[in-house]
Amino acid sequence: MPYPYVTSAKFTGGQMTFSVLVGDFQGNEEEYVEISGYATQIGGAFANIYKIVPIPAKANGSNDQPSVDVTVDPSPAKKFRKDQDVTVAIRVSKVWVTVLRVKPQTGRQPEDTVDQSSLADDSTTWDDVRQVSEMYSTSAPAGAS
Q: For the sheet containing 87-94, what is the strand order?
A: 46-55, 31-40, 87-94
> How high is the pLDDT of residue 27?
60
Phi, psi (rounded to 5 degrees) for 27 = -130, -170
Tell me what pLDDT residue 105 has: 60
End-to-end Cα separation, the chain, in angstroms:
27
So where are the chain's domains? 6-94
The pLDDT score that the predictor gives to residue 57 is: 61
What's the length of the chain?
A: 145
pLDDT for res 35: 94
Q: Do residues 47 and 72 touch, judged by C-beta distance below 8 A?
A: yes
pLDDT for 98 equals 87
How confident is the model over 43-56, as pLDDT tens digits? 899 999 999 988 75
pLDDT at site 24: 73
DSSP string, 30-93: -EEEEEEEEEE-TTS-EEEEEEEEEE-TT---STT--EEEEEEPPPSSS---TTS--EEEEEEE
Q: Are 21 and 65 in contact (CB under 8 A)?
A: yes
- Mean pLDDT, 10 residues at a time, the chain of 145 residues: 80 90 70 91 94 70 71 92 91 86 63 65 71 61 42
Give the model's pLDDT for residue 18.
92
Distance, CA of 7 to CA of 18 (rounded, Å): 7
Q: How far apart are CA 141 and CA 4, in angstroms?
A: 26
Q: Which fold has domain 6-94?
A: Immunoglobulin-like (2.60.40)
- The pLDDT value given to residue 42: 92
* pTM, to two decimals: 0.68
What pLDDT score does 50 carry?
95
